[in-house]
Amino acid sequence: MTFIKKENECRVLSTTAILGYGYPLKSFYRGIKKNPHLIAVDAGSTDPGPYYLGSGKSFTNRAAVKRDLRYMIKEGVKRKIPVVIGSGGGSGARPHVDWCEAIIREIADEEKIGFSLGIIYADIEKTAVKKALVLKKIKPLACVPALKKEAVEQTTYIVAQMGMEPIISMLGKKCDVILCGRCYDPAVFAALPVMRGFDPGLCLHMGKILECASIAATPGSGSDCALGIVKEKSFILETLNPIRKFTKTSAAAHTLYEKSDPSHLPGPGGEINLENTVFRELPGGRVEISGSRFVPSRDYWIKLEGARPAGFRTISVSATRDPVMIREIDGIFKSVDRQVKSFLQKEKIRGSVQFLVYGKNGVMGEMEPVKKILSHELAIVINASGESQSAADSLCGLTRSSLLHYGYRGRISTAGNLAFPFSPSDAQMGQIYEFSIYHIMQISDQNIFRKTIKRMGKK
């Protein structure tokens, strides 16, 4: 990509870490007064797990998303600043993008404003994935098994992380607002500066930090704005709230966010090379960063994400502060588990139970290095999954009642040894999903991402 610079800098306003997390209006308008060339936000993540991608539902609140978008779109349209939204609706599949489009249309109607909305869909057809699989153009990411045709068939939605190219294409068509499906987070912030001729390595590194807005500042916040200013040989990070500032440490730390290699950050079509990156603090709580390079890969690879149904879940939350039960807890779980498995076998119910024990190893499980229980109380979450909701309900209920009255060594109270904070004690969680595709796929062109332009609001 070769473009000609029209100005000596490009200013990018990042509003919040994820659309719907909110931002202070004072920070937003401080950013607007800086006359940004772009208002951008990342709206998605796989962090909340596979359910949202598999079910086609958003993990952010609709009213909160609408609030965040309202100010961005109003100011962007009024001032002729393009607004770019990445991973619309959270997971970026068609139902998520449609959900976000409906919100944008409502804002246009309510505010009585008209603008062009460019939409870039990230959905990948199963036939395209299976064809790439046959051609050996799909590779698993670390700790992921090789992709099988069966997994593709079982997956409800398959999306690919788009890079800058589709966004640049829509910016070139003069779209006022661009709504992207699943998107490489930095691309949302980097596309316009790259289109204007600035260095892709600097732009993508800046986008890597701006994707989470002020989380990279200190004190960090995912619900506050930040400004990035890319120049010929560096970019500058600036907070828009006087209580925060960027430091060398905070900016460098966030550069490593969600990355396993401190010097090489892979993405669509190549990697950001940080071997010669320099962080320099400036007055006013700003940081200047230079030396970052984009190194294109020989072939263009994109990341695929997909999730498939994996049964149904019912949970029960309880707690104990009986020191005898706490002392015997591992043996109690083993005995209850054997008892429940015996019932499952006899009743021909398929399912499994997991005990999450907070105060012991609820966060890290078997990897927890502290083996001795130090807490005077434990919170116990029974996680029961089955092939149907009925099976999960039966499994959870049996496990809960067995644990409640289990006759462990040294028990004094026979009335029950768990406290339940909620009634009913069991909660149906519905259908559950698991990641079935977490691979990279080689592509030969960007036509895999379908685009459309729609008119919003008044003409």
**Each residue of 217-227: pLDDT tens digit?**
999 999 999 99
390 & 280 share domain: no
- What pLDDT score was predicted for residue 459? 62
Distance of CA 233 to the CA centre of its chain: 31
Asked whether residue 430 is domain-assigned, the answer is no
Strands 286-290 and 278-282: antiparallel
What percent of the chain is helix, strand and coil (3-state, nearest 5)?
A: 35, 30, 40
Asked whether residue 326 is domain-assigned, the answer is yes
Give 132-161 pLDDT, tens digit per residue: 999 999 999 988 999 999 999 999 999 999
- What pLDDT score was predicted for residue 458? 78
Asked whether residue 313 is domain-assigned, the answer is no
Task: Check pLDDT > 90 for residue 242.
Answer: yes
365 & 262 share domain: no
239 & 379 share domain: no
* Of 399 and 417, the one with more pLDDT: 399
- What pLDDT score was predicted for residue 5? 53
- What pLDDT score was predicted for residue 256? 85
163 & 111 share domain: yes
- What pLDDT score was predicted for residue 139? 95
68 & 126 share domain: yes
Asked whether residue 67 is domain-assigned, the answer is yes
Give 83-134 pLDDT, tens digit per residue: 999 999 999 999 999 999 999 999 999 999 999 999 999 999 999 999 999 9
Average pLDDT in the 390-409 region? Answer: 93
354 & 221 share domain: no
Our CA angle for 141, 145, 146, nearest 5°, is 85
Residue count of the chain, please give it: 459
First to last CA, the chain: 34
218 & 353 share domain: no
Cβ partners under 8 Å of residue 382, min gap 6: 315, 316, 317, 318, 353, 354, 355, 396, 399, 400, 403
- What pLDDT score was predicted for residue 3? 52
Q: Report the range of poorest mean pLDDT among 219-223, 283-287, 340-344, 356-360.
A: 340-344
- What pLDDT score was predicted for residue 6? 59
207 & 302 share domain: yes
179, 96 in Cβ contact below 8 A? Answer: no
296 & 334 share domain: no
- What pLDDT score was predicted for residue 413? 79
Look at the chain and report how many structural domains it folds into.
2
Asked whether residue 316 is domain-assigned, the answer is no
139 & 239 share domain: yes
Q: Which domain holds residue 342?
A: 322-418
The enclosing H or E element of 218 equals none
How many of the other CB atoms lie within 10 Å of CB of 200? Answer: 20
368 & 264 share domain: no
Give 38-56 pLDDT, tens digit per residue: 999 999 988 899 999 999 9
pLDDT band at 309 (very low <50, low <70, confident <90, very high): very high
Asked whether residue 187 is domain-assigned, the answer is yes
Asked whether residue 1 is domain-assigned, the answer is no
Residue 420 backbone dihedrals phi, psi, to 5 degrees: -110, 120
Q: What is the DSSP string of 266-334?
A: EETTEEEE-TT-EEEEETTTEEEEE--EEEE-SSEEEEEEEEEEEEEEEEEEEEE--HHHHHTHHHHHH
Give 159-191 pLDDT, tens digit per residue: 999 999 999 999 999 999 999 999 999 999 999
- What pLDDT score was predicted for residue 2? 46
Q: What is the DSSP string of 34-99?
A: T--SEEEEE---STT-THHHHHT--SS-HHHHHHHHHHHHHHHHHHT--EEEESTTTT-SHHHHHH
The chain-wide mean pLDDT, for the chain, equals 94
Asked whether residue 452 is domain-assigned, the answer is yes
Task: Check pLDDT > 80 for residue 1.
Answer: no
Task: Check pLDDT > 70 for residue 350.
Answer: yes
152, 190 in Cβ contact below 8 A? Answer: no
364 & 219 share domain: no
